[in-house]
């Protein structure tokens, strides 16, 4: 199969990176073939009654990439550009991510092609409930456990949990993570991905001998991951001078007040118009003179066209797949230190795992314990990745992929083939 890493299709990038990793690991060919492609893919076409009485047909997917180490785990995304290949890519990254941070899950991902920003609450609820019922045949606490991703949130997870529980006839909180606390959600889950991003940033600063309190940073995307990353970067003493969202980019050289900005976005839905900040172009935003850059929006944001202009010393990938392979090479050559996505944003799935464990035990933990456990997981994985990267003289992305793929390969090999 010829892989085109310039198409912008993240699944091409995933497959390409897998081949490089498998070759470097000298992975047994039959094992490599088994873990390269998804185990199961479900496509559903389903009707939803819209507010105006019309019936619209939506297309959704759920992909389970690998369940060798445990049930599939991964978010559900509502997006107009969602494709099956997107799901495959995101599900594969979930497999590597869970293995990298040592939690007993495989990788899954789901999506519905829709325009969530143009839909009202009634329509989103109808869409979520019907999609849940369509994929209910393959999800479940022991099989595949969804969570929030772009344009889905706690509310969405509550609808999924309720729909699945109605189908089963009893309450099944463990079918999703990222739920509201009232129905078995975990303390610390909402902020876990952003917190993890900042734990990883602190590790990177320490490794490079940078004092985080003397750094400037920028964050692309101001949703769950971006806003929480910005909040904790600021709390740790970094001056967050610029952020962006789907509507544009804003900057204040003296540092943005992130807590006020979060409140402003809650009220208005966008960062644009926030007082005490100037609007800048996306090009200016990417080229800013900062020490730390956190992409926390979409895939393919750092490409061969703009990677050479990036001045940041550290990039911490809050988003999944924000950097293309060509851009990776440029950043590595330019000495930019990269914390790859499967490590940087693993905080979300780690606390999702804690939520799932608490649901199974019906026993809930203190937030301080959860945050401490999360920090230990990220710091350990960071050290393991750095050690491989130094030993093998390779970039951190390949080091992280090698560690993760080797762990999945070991599990598959230990289990053997049924029947």
Counting contacts by CB under 6 A, is residue 294 touching ligand NAD? no
Binding-residue pattern over the window 101 to 140 for ligand NAD, x denoting contact by CB under 6 A = ----------------------------------------
Q: Is 193 in the site for ligand NAD (CB under 6 A)?
A: yes
Tell me whether residue 188 or residue 348 sits nearer to ligand NAD (CB atom).
348
Applying the rule CB under 6 A, the residues between 143 and 172 that interact with ligand NAD are 148-151
Residue 285 sits in the site that holds ligand NAD (CB under 6 A): no
Q: Is 143 a catalytic residue?
A: no
Among 298, 357, 394, 406, binds ligand NAD (CB under 6 A): 298
Give residues 237-256 in contact with ligand NAD (rule: CB under 6 A). Answer: 244-246
* 220 contacts ligand NAD (rule: CB under 6 A): yes
Stretch that binds ligand NAD, among 19-27, 36-44, 47-55, 215-223 (CB under 6 A): 215-223
Q: Is 188 in the site for ligand NAD (CB under 6 A)?
A: no
Of 165 and 300, CB closest to ligand NAD: 300
Contact 238, 255 (CB under 8 A): no
The Cα–Cα gap between 299 and 344 comes to 14
Assess 348 for contact with ligand NAD (CB under 6 A): yes
By CB under 6 A, name the one of 22, 99, 296, 402 that touches ligand NAD: 296
Which residue lies nearer to ligand NAD by CB, 125 or 149? 149
Set 97, 109, 239, 313: catalytic member? 109
Decide if residue 87 touches ligand NAD (CB under 6 A): no
State the minimum distance, in angstroms, from the CB of residue 339 to ligand NAD.
13
Smallest distance from ligand NAD to CB 412, Å: 24
Shortest distance, position 344 Cβ to ligand NAD, whole Å = 9
Residues near ligand NAD (CB under 6 A) are 148-151, 193, 220-226, 244-246, 296-298, 318-320, 345, 348
Catalytic amino acids? 109
């Amino acid at each position: 199969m010829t892989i085109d890493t310039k198409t912008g299709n993240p699944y091409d990038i995933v497959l390409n990176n897998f081949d490089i990793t498998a070759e470097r690991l000298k992975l047994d060919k039959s094992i490599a073939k088994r873990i390269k492609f998804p185990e199961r893919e479900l496509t559903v076409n389903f009707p939803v009654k819209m507010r105006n009485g019309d019936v619209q047909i939506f297309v959704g997917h759920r992909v389970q990439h690998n369940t060798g180490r445990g049930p599939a785990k991964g978010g559900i995304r509502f997006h107009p550009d969602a494709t099956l290949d997107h799901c495959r890519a995101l599900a594969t990254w979930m497999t590597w991510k869970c293995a990298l941070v040592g939690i007993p899950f495989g990788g899954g991902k789901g999506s519905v092609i829709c325009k969530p920003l143009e839909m009202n609450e009634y329509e989103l609820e109808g869409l979520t409930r019907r999609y849940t019922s369509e994929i209910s045949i393959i999800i479940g606490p022991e099989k595949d456990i969804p969570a929030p991703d772009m344009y889905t949130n706690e509310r969405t997870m509550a609808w999924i949990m309720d729909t699945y529980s109605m189908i089963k006839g009893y309450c099944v909180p463990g079918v999703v993570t990222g739920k509201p606390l009232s129905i078995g959600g975990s303390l610390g889950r909402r902020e876990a991905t952003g917190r993890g991003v900042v734990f990883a940033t602190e590790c990177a600063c320490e490794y490079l001998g940078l004092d985080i309190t003397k750094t400037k940073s920028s964050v692309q995307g101001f949703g769950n991951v971006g806003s929480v990353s910005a909040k904790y970067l600021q709390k740790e003493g970094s001056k967050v001078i610029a952020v962006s969202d789907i509507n544009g980019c804003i900057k204040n050289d003296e540092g943005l007040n992130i807590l006020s900005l979060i409140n402003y976005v809650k009220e208005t839905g966008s960062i644009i118009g926030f007082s005490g900040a100037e609007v800048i172009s996306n090009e200016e935003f990417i080229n800013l003179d900062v020490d730390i850059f956190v992409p926390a929006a979409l895939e393919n944001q750092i490409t061969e066209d703009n990677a050479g202009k990036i001045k940041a010393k550290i990039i911490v990938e809050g988003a999944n797949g924000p950097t293309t392979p060509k851009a990776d090479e440029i950043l590595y050559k330019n000495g930019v230190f990269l914390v790859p996505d499967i490590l940087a944003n693993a905080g979300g799935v780690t606390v999702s795992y804690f939520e799932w464990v608490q649901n199974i035990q019906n026993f809930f933990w203190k937030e301080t314990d959860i945050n401490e456990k999360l920090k230990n997981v990220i710091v350990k994985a960071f050290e393991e990745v750095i050690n491989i990267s130094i030993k093998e003289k390779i970039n951190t992305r390949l080091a992280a992929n090698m560690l993760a793929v080797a762990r999945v390969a070991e599990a598959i090999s230990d289990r053997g083939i049924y029947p």
